[in-house]
Amino acid sequence: MKKMIITLKGMTCNHCVMNVKNVLSGIENVKVLNVEINKATIEVEKSEKLLDNIKQKIKMIGYEVVSADLI
């Protein structure tokens, strides 16, 4: 698994953090390491399909993925 930092747009409070953490935790092949306002650090299997799934689920709860970088 690879670490990934996701930069998000639209998060303003701890409620937003919990929403994103819950959504990411529910995605298969994603391990949540840390979520803070406008940033999430996760471990993932490298897959474009998985990244598309993450972006879609984040968008469904009202936030936007600005970037997703493997580290």
- Do 10 and 64 form a contact (C-beta atoms < 8 A)? yes
Domain residues for 55? 2-70
In a 3-state reduction of DSSP, which class is residue 49? helix
What integer best gives the mean pLDDT of the chain? Answer: 94
pLDDT at 70: 87
> In CATH, what number is assigned to the domain containing residue 26?
3.30.70.100
14-30 tens-digit pLDDT: 999 999 999 999 999 99
CA–CA gap between residue 62 and residue 53 (Å, rounded): 15
d(C-alpha 33, C-alpha 15), whole Å: 17
Q: How many domains does the chain have?
A: 1
Stated pTM of the model: 0.92
Maximal C-alpha separation, the chain:
30
